Amino acid sequence: MSRCSCNLYVCVRDHQLCCLLVIVLALSVWGEDPLCKLQGNLDLPLLSKTGDFILGGIFTLHNNFIASKPTLNLNYKEYHFAETMIYAIEQINNRTDILPNVSLGYKIYDACGTISLAIKAAMALISGAGEAQSSTLHFATCACLSNRKEFPTFFRTIPSDYYQSRALAQLVKHFGWTWVGTIRSDNDYGNSGMATFVEVAQKEGICIEYSEVIYRTNPREKFLKTVDVIKMASSKTIVAFAIFIDLEFLMKELLLQDVTGLQWVGSESLVSAKNVATKENYRIFKGAIGFSLANAAIPGLKEFLLSVHPSSTPGNAGLIKLWEDMFDCSFSASNSKTCTGSENLQQVNNLYTDVSDLRTTYNVYKAVYAVAHALHDLLACQDNQVPCMTNPKDILPLQALQHLKKVNFSVNNGDYVNFDINGDPPARYELVNWQLSVNGIIEFVTIGFYDALMPEGKQFIMNNKSIMWATSDGKIPKSVCSESCRPGTRKATQKGKPVCCFDCLPCAEGEISNSTDAVHCMTCPLEYRANEEKDQCILKDIEFLSHDEIMGMILIILALLGALITSMVTVVFFKFRDTPIVKANNSELSFLLLFSLTLCFLCSLTFIGEPTQWSCMLRHTAFGITFVLCISCVLGKTIVVLMAFRATMPGSNIMKCFGPTQQRLSVLTFTLIQTLICIIWLVNYPPFPKKNVNSNKEIIILECEMGSTVAFYIVLGYIGLLSVMCFVLAFLARKLPDNFNEAKFITFSMLVFCTVWITFIPSYISSPGKYTVAVEVFAILASSFGLLLCIFVPKCYIILLKPDKNSKKHLMGKMQTKSL
């Protein structure tokens, strides 16, 4: 049977003065049933009553559900719906606030589960003719019926599947089921509803592992194939958009093969169908969840259902059939038990008398009241309409239709009834869960609500604690193709598989993901790095050559030690300034050289510590100027040695050309040139501190940016030029007599100096981070120590340890020996 639901039609007859309103219940059917012909003349209504307005009802009062039992069955639930319609009409007729002095009548037909009879009944209500016309099969919940161009007079009190399908997708997403199987009835209800579900599910990131179609007339082989698909699947959740008649055949096969423990998510046609709620079926549907129409109470309905009697409504064949079937008797047949009419409905307990579940019944009740309110508003001359309709016979059907669009009233429980522009009611559902009570009764426990009118994110109100799940441990089942990717990884779709099947790949260096199932990893900002778990960006460590670390301390000690030794040499030279060896080595240039070497040692300290604007400008300019001063002094001493040798030759007057004044001017000139270069550098493109985030992805290197690399290379090139000049001149003077052998020491010192700085270049380029600065400091110290040790240590050795050789006689004698 289809999902029982209430549809409203306004049927128009231009040549007739009365308005016929048709309430169609269970219009969707499952095929022609020849057994319906046993019911006699179905062209006549089974239940009827005259009135000013006639409301037509079409219900499936007879059906044949079980294929193995070829007999016509009376549908107690449908009779329950039909009597509810009558109850609502009688209730309205007895009220004075709705349609006063106007009576409602009814004609209720039996569609007998067939399209042709349903159409024949509808045509009979409209025109009195019983000729069947062709029609497209639609379920009352089909979203297609909201199309006002095709169905301009269609109204319904059951929500459209447009909302239910979307709500099911959101429900599946809510519980994290991204890998599901689907089963649908092969009819308008299943195909349309499932198509919408799949569309929304894919947008929500849900993948469909399999999609099976079932129909009650399919051969058993097809149902067995569906069972095999379910058994072989890895998904643990099944979404079913099917009517329970079709699913009965599948459930039978699932029970035979004991396919249990799966989480079923069903549409309202299935999940709240009491016909399915048996202990045997509970093995399969344990913990099933889905949407259902909201339950409600209808005061007085129970008493009305139990008060009906064939004698109270003469000529209503439907009540006679109900009574005969209910009490297994007959009012006419002589070969069976005779109905006395005194049978008591109070002793009957079946779907007809049951008022505990009025989900669909409530929609029938609201449908009747919606029509009554529309007619009442029209007759009451509301909305200042002109002309005012006071006589029911003057009302045209289209006028009633316009008022039906505007109804907005409250029923007994405070629930408001109204229709949108498509003739649809507000979409509100209960979320129900199949549970087994302590009494062994299957209950549809309400675990939440869904209201499509609420804002996004607030449409669900759920109570997860009260849910019973299909799993044996009572925990929420997992239904995923791949386990979630933890933070620090990203999803990588497996080739040829849906997006829900993926591998989890760790984020690359410098990237993180801080959420589960991240599609992409995020790159950390430049000053941040990824932690070990790669789920958080943390500040990088700042690196520079610090005073506090061992390497920095060692370089500081060496620099201070070099300055101290230089100062000690200066003291020795000053104390023995009048001795021949000091005088012979140009004491003035020697003291200036010692002073410059002290500055060279001390300038290396500017390279150690956190770079600042001032330290960056000072370190390279101080280094450039002090080293030029130092090399200028060495160059001057070299020239003096050469000049002194030439001066000993007969007739030479060369020393007058490079006397003390010229020596001072040469040193000053060379130094001023470097000073001018550094001033231009500092004024135009000064060095500045910079955070280097590119050389090392794990740390920030705090270093001094040159400002102008050209200026830096000019400074170094100038030092190199003077060094080469000094080395060449010293090399030329290497074979002078021993008393002038200082040239040998200068040659060796400049060889050490040049070697250090030539080696420095590749080391400087290849050293990472703070080691770049350390290499530069080491080069400064090494070259300074080279000059100090090669030039001054031999002299200090003679002054302090060999004073007998520190005499003019010794130096002159040695020269004469060499000149012979």
Same domain? For 10 and 92 the reply is: yes
CA–CA distance, 799 with 570 (Å, rounded to integer): 13
Contact by Cβ (8 Å): 62, 39: yes
Its sign, for the CA torsion 436, 440, 444, 447, is negative
Who has greater pLDDT, 120 or 197? 197
Helices (H), 13-75: none
Asked whether residue 266 is domain-assigned, the answer is yes
Residue 380: CA atoms inside 13 Å, Cβ hemisphere, count?
Answer: 14
Enter the tokens of residue 820: 């012979």
Termini Cα distance of the chain: 137
More confident position, 127 or 181: 181
Q: Which of 414, 436, 458 is the last residue of a domain?
A: 414
Domain with 525, as residue range(s), is 489-539
Structure-derived torsion over alpha carbons of residues 147, 150, 156, 161, reported in degrees to the nearest 10:
-40
Is 266:246 a contact under the CB 8 Å cutoff?
no
- Residue 279's region, left for phi above 0, alpha for psi from -120 to 50, else beta, is alpha
Statement to judge: residues 739 and 791 lie in one domain: yes
pLDDT bin (cut points 50, 70, 90) of residue 648 is low
What are 709-717's contacts with CB under 8 Å, separation 24+? 711/677, 711/680, 711/681, 711/684, 711/685, 712/620, 712/681, 714/677, 715/620, 715/621, 715/624, 715/674, 715/677, 715/678, 715/681, 716/624
Question: What pLDDT score was predicted for residue 393?
Answer: 64
* 781 and 641 inside one domain: yes
Shared-domain flag, residues 190 and 331: no
Considering the domain boundaries, does residue 129 fall inside one? yes
Is 191 within the bounds of a domain?
Answer: yes
Residues 174 and 47 in one domain: no
Residue bearing tokens 């059951």: 158
pLDDT in tens, 13-43: 222 223 334 444 433 333 344 445 444 445 5
CATH number, domain containing residue 243? 3.40.50.2300
pLDDT at 394: 61
Rounded percentage of the chain residues whose pLDDT exceeds 90: 35
Domain co-membership, 684 together with 703: yes
387: cis peptide before it, omega within 30°? yes
- Weakest mean pLDDT among 114-128, 244-258, 735-749: 735-749
Confidence of residue 115 (pLDDT cuts 50, 70, 90): confident
The pTM of the full predicted model, rounded to 2 decimals, is: 0.65
Mean pLDDT of the chain: 82
DSSP of 181-213: EEEEESSHHHHHHHHHHHHHHHHTT-EEEEEEE
In this predicted structure, what is the pLDDT of residue 301? 94
User: Which of 459, 496, 504 minimizes the C-alpha distance to 173?
Assistant: 459
Q: Which is higher by pLDDT, 652 or 583?
A: 583
In this predicted structure, the answer to whether residue 608 has a pLDDT above a threshold of 50 is yes
Q: What distances in angstroms separate CA 38 from CA 28, 33, 63, 74, 112, one per listed residue?
A: 21, 10, 12, 12, 11
Round to whole Å and give the CA distance between 486 and 490.
Answer: 8
Of the candidates 378, 381, 369, the one whose C-alpha atom is nearest the C-alpha of residue 425 is 369
Q: Model confidence over 619-633: pLDDT tens digits?
A: 889 989 999 999 998
Nearest CA among 73, 176, 108, 24 for reference residue 318: 108
Give the alpha-carbon dihedral of 311, 313, 318, 324, to 10 degrees. -10
Q: What is the pLDDT of residue 132?
A: 45
Same domain, yes or no: 511 and 574: no
253: Cα separation from own chain's centroid = 40
State how many domains the chain has.
4
Last residue of a domain, one of 500, 517, 539: 539
Q: Could you report the per-residue pLDDT of 782-811, keeping only the tens digit for each?
A: 989 988 888 888 888 888 888 877 776 665
Provide the 10 A C-beta neighbour count for residue 87.
22
454 and 494 together in one domain: no
SS (H, E, C) 765-790: HHCCCHHHHHHHHHHHHHHHHHHHHH
Distance CA 747, CA 763 (A): 24
Same-domain status, 740 and 804:
yes
Predicted confidence (pLDDT) at residue 182 exceeds the cutoff of 70: yes
Q: Does residue 727 form part of some domain?
A: yes
Can you give the pLDDT at residue 331?
82
User: Is residue 695 included in any domain, yes or no?
Assistant: yes
Whether 177 maps to a domain, the answer reads: yes
Most confidently modeled range among 213-227, 370-384, 680-694: 213-227
Indicate the range of 110-119, 402-411, 526-535 predicted with least confidence. 110-119
Within this chain, do residues 97 and 194 fall inside the same structural domain, yes or no? no
User: Are residue 644 and residue 698 in the same domain, yes or no?
Assistant: yes
Band (441; pLDDT cuts 50, 70, 90):
confident
**pLDDT per residue over 480-523, tens digit each?**
999 989 999 999 988 888 888 999 999 998 899 999 889 899 99
- Asked if 459 and 404 sit in the same domain, the reply is no
Query: What CA–CA distance (Å, rounded) separates 323 from 352?
Result: 11
Strand partners, 58: 24, 109
Q: Which residue has the tokens 């057994």?
A: 35
